[in-house]
Amino acid sequence: MDRYNVDVLIIGAGAIGTAVARELSKFEQTVLVVDRLNDVGGDASKSNSAIVHTGFDAPPGSLESQMVVHSNPMFSGLCSALDIPFKQSGAILVAASDQEDAELQDILKKARENHIFDVEPLSAKEVLDLEPAVTPDVKRGLLVPRESIVDPFLLVVAQAENAAANGMQFLTDCEVVGLTRRRDGFTVESTRGVIRSKYVVNAAGLYTDRVSGFLGIDDFKVHARRGQFHVIDRATPLGISHIILPVPTKITKGKLLAPTVHGNWLIGPTAEELEDKSAHQTTKAGLEEVVASVKRLIPSLDSGSVITQYAGLRPVREPGGYHFRRFDDIPGYLELSGIRSTGLSASLAVAVVAKSMLIEMGMPSDRKPTTTAKREGIPCFRDADTLAREQLIRSDPRYDHVICRCETVTEAEVVQSIHRTPGARDIDGVKRRVRAGLGRCQAGFCGMRIPQIIARELGVSLEEVTKKGKGSEILVGVTKMMRIGCHEDH
Ligand SMILES: Cc1cc2nc3c(=O)[nH]c(=O)nc-3n(C[C@H](O)[C@H](O)[C@H](O)COP(=O)(O)OP(=O)(O)OC[C@H]3O[C@@H](n4cnc5c(N)ncnc54)[C@H](O)[C@@H]3O)c2cc1C
């Protein structure tokens, strides 16, 4: 017997897959979202620049431009409904040489062609008045007021939680390894058994080519373009509030500096073409290149204030560009590929288009009588004022127990992150949901407390707790100190 028999199967629980799931959760359809990874959040979707672009520099007239431009205004409302941080920080594109200055006119023209009419030219003085840390060599700039920032992981996880609250199912550690079209739908082989589905949405990012290949579609390839980043401590007196963008090249938007919604800054990314789709590691050369490039725009940048690094892989499609495809000879199959370096920003519009395409393909569109568009976030102790903190502690005494000192994350928040649906199952899952371990000491202090809480809440042994799924177990044995628990600061 098939373990899952659903109306729609979505392959990939990244920004695209979860946004599609949330969009479909309004309808009387059974939907299953599967991901080969051990958590929702995707691959590229959790390791990017975290910018909600306006689309001002997208190729005019392209599907990408249409999606990004259409999505941008949807973010503020969505983030407020999902109770996640969103900030319209604005961006300043800095021309730091005469040659870059000469390119600004074309970028402005492109912005107009993309219907982004609020981009404004700035003189060198205006750039420096807005951001005094920018290089005094600045020639001119462009202000892009609606470029914004989000927490990319929370964006995905909050949509997944909202979709789950409306009946969508999520299955992680579930890799699709085969796909066959039958008369009445699809038979999907996965590492967690056979799934039957009437419709299949391929939102597999880097692996969209492999998934389409299962059905004999072999007219495109996807390779990885790695981007490496440094994260800068929020205690650094950098004093920059806008996203600082270089003049983009044909291949990349270039190495930028972006504030995060949590008060840090990101600098990066590189753009390295790779065949290996698993090369998530950072390199000395890549990270040095990032510092050197951003220092050109912000000379006071101090690499000593870096607290960690990460790398993400952009799914680069050849032939390029966004492609949303249905196939007459494979009814029920929808492929969403080529969503490369603007997919976070475009995801909300992509989901609306995917829903419409599925309906055109025959998916019934009866609406559920009741659904909720809202989701409540985990109340954050750090951001609460004194009165609110007292109320939180009264509601749950575990709010009085700080687990992560750098980010002031309490035991109550860690516990809630585990009991959400879909909830954290490992250390990275907790970290991404409530920021425990993401501060200056990078889990030096809470490194052992989080696994103890995970083990206790999930009813597993400490040896079974992982950093990010099977194969990343963190312990070989348990010391006496760990068995009795380190509760000296209760
Ligand atoms: C360095 C970098 C910087 C970026 N900056 C920005 C930015 O600032 N703003 C912006 O809008 N965009 C940005 N992007 C682009 C954005 O991150 C991506 O376009 C977007 O995340 C793509 O989402 P996705 O859901 O298609 O892919 P992913 O997040 O990669 O999700 C695809 C999922 O499919 C799963 N999967 C694959 N194969 C299978 C299988 N066979 N079975 C089951 N599951 C499978 C994967 O495990 C993965 O979780 C950036 C990307 C990178 C790498």
With cut-offs at 50, 70 and 90, classify the pLDDT of residue 490. Answer: very low
Rounded CA separation 317/47 (Å): 18
Name the closest-CA residue to atom 27, ligand 1: 205
Whose CA is closest to atom 48 on ligand 1? 42
Ligand 1 close to Cβ of residue 286 (< 6 A): no
Q: What is the mean pLDDT of the chain?
A: 94
Residue 405 pLDDT grade (very low, low, confident, very high; cuts 50, 70, 90): confident
Residue nearest (by alpha carbon) to ligand 1 atom 9: 51
Question: Does residue 203's CB lie within 6 angstroms of at least one atom of ligand 1?
Answer: yes
Encode pLDDT of 110-153 as tens digits: 999 999 999 999 999 999 999 999 999 999 999 999 999 999 99
Mind listing the pLDDT tens digit for each residue in 435-467? 998 887 877 777 789 999 999 999 999 999 999
Please tell me the predicted confidence (pLDDT) of residue 249: 76
Cβ–ligand 1 distance for 345 under 6 Å, the answer yes
In sequence order, the 6+-apart residues with CB closer than 8 A to the CB of 481 are: none
Q: Look at residue 89 and tell me whether its pLDDT is greater than 60.
A: yes
Cα 213 to ligand 1 centroid, rounded to whole Å: 19
Q: Torsions phi, psi of 390, nearest 5?
A: -60, -40
143 C-alpha vs ligand 1 centroid, how far in Å?
Answer: 28
pLDDT recorded at residue 483: 60
With CA atoms as reference, report the closest residue to 254 among 311, 284, 295, 294: 294
Burial class for 3, CB neighbours closer than 10 Å (0-12, 13-18, 19+): exposed
Tokens of 56: 């001002």
Locus of tokens 């004093």: 239
Greater pLDDT, 313 or 478: 313
Q: Please compute Rg for the chain using Cα positions.
A: 23
Pocket test for ligand 1, best of 10, 43, 174, 228 (most atoms within 8 A of CB): 43
d(CA 5, CA 11): 15
Q: Which atom of ligand 1 lies closest to the CA of 340?
A: 19
Is residue 439 within 8 Å of 416, Cβ to Cβ?
Answer: no
The pLDDT score that the predictor gives to residue 482 is 60
Other beta carbons within 10 angstroms of residue 68's beta carbon come to 29
Predicted pLDDT of residue 488: 41
Atom of ligand 1 nearest to the CA of 16: 25
How many angstroms separate the alpha carbon of residue 146 from the centre of ligand 1? 23
Q: What are phi and psi of 288, to 5 degrees?
A: -65, -40
32 contacts 185 by C-beta, under 8 angstroms = no
Any atom of ligand 1 within 6 Å of the Cβ of 40: no
CA distance 76 to 390: 30
The pLDDT score that the predictor gives to residue 379 is 97
Q: What percent of the chain has pLDDT above 90? A: 88
Question: Is 342 near ligand 1, meaning CB less than 6 Å away?
Answer: yes
Which amino acid does the sequence have at 103? Answer: E
Using 50, 70 and 90 to split pLDDT, how confident is the model at 481? low
Q: Which of 53, 230, 242, 401 is catalytic?
A: 53
Has residue 50 got a pLDDT over 50? yes
- Determine whether the shortest distance from the Cβ of 267 to ligand 1 is under 6 A: no
Q: What is the 3-state secondary structure (H, E, C) of the chain?
A: CCCEEEEEEEECCCHHHHHHHHHHCCECCCEEEECCCCCCCCCHHHCCCCEECCCCCCCCCCHHHHHHHHHHHHHHHHHHHCCCCEECCCEEEEECCHHHHHHHHHHHHHHHHCCCCCCEEEEHHHHHHHCCCCCCCCCEEEEECCCEEECHHHHHHHHHHHHHHCCCEEECCCCEEEEEEECCEEEEEECCEEEEEEEEEECCHHHHHHHHHHCCCCCCEEEEEEEEEEEECCCCCCCCCCEEECCCCCCCCCCEEEECCCCCEEEECCCEEECCCCCCCCCHHHHHHHHHHHHHHCCCCCHHHEEEEEEEEEEEEECCCCEEEECCCCCCEEEEECCCCCHHHHHHHHHHHHHHHHHHCCCCCCECCCCCCCCCCCCCCCCCCHHHHHHHHHHCHHHHCEEECCCCEEHHHHHHHHHCCCCCCCHHHHHHHHCCCCCCCCCCCCCCHHHHHHHHHHCCCHHHCECCCCCCECCCCCCHHHHHCCCCCC
| Whether the CB of 339 sits within 6 Å of ligand 1 | yes
| Across 112-121, 301-310, 471-480, least confident range | 471-480
On the question of pLDDT at 182 being above 90, the answer is yes
Say yes or no to pLDDT of 262 above 80. Answer: yes
Model pLDDT for residues 430-440, shown as the tens digit of each residue: 999 999 988 87
| Separation of CA 43 and ligand 1 centre (Å) | 5
Name which residue leads in pLDDT, 251 or 178.
Answer: 178
Q: Which residue puts its alpha carbon closest to atom 44 of ligand 1? A: 35
Ligand 1 centroid to 14 CA: how many Å?
6
Is 50 exceeded by the pLDDT of residue 489?
no
Structure tokens that stand for 72 in this block: 């941008």
> Per the confidence metrics, is the pTM higher than 0.85?
yes
230 given a catalytic annotation:
no
Decide whether any atom of ligand 1 lies within 6 Å of the 11 Cβ: yes
SS3 letters for 99-157? Answer: HHHHHHHHHHHHHHHCCCCCCEEEEHHHHHHHCCCCCCCCCEEEEECCCEEECHHHHHH
Give the distance (Å) from ligand 1 centre to CA of residue 155. Answer: 13
**Ligand 1 pocket, residue 17 CB under 6 Å:** yes
Ligand 1 binding pocket includes 16 (Cβ within 6 Å) = yes
Nearest to 439 by CA among 244, 232, 293, 248: 232
Nearest to 91 by CA among 246, 255, 296, 306: 246
> Of the ranges 168-177, 437-446, 474-483, which one carries the lowest mean pLDDT score?
474-483
* CA 207 distance to own-chain centroid: 17
Does ligand 1 have an atom closer than 6 angstroms to the CB of 314? Answer: yes
% the chain with pLDDT above 70 = 96
Q: Around Cβ 223, how many Cβ atoms within 10 Å?
A: 17
The residue-averaged pLDDT of 401-412 equals 93
Question: For position 370, what pLDDT does the model report?
Answer: 93
Q: For residue 333, how far is its CA from the centre of ligand 1 (angstroms)?
A: 20
Which atom of ligand 1 is least distant from the CA of 343? 19
Q: How far is the CA of 221 from the centre of ligand 1 (A)?
A: 15
What confidence score (pLDDT) does residue 2 get? 62
Which residues is 52 bridged to in the sheet?
Answer: 148
pLDDT of residue 445: 74
Give CA–CA dist 215/257, Å, rounded. Answer: 42
- C-beta 41 within 6 A of ligand 1: no
Give 17 Cα–ligand 1 centroid separation in angstroms: 10
Atom of ligand 1 nearest to the CA of 204: 34
**What's the pLDDT tens digit per position in 206-237?**
999 999 999 999 999 999 999 999 999 998 98
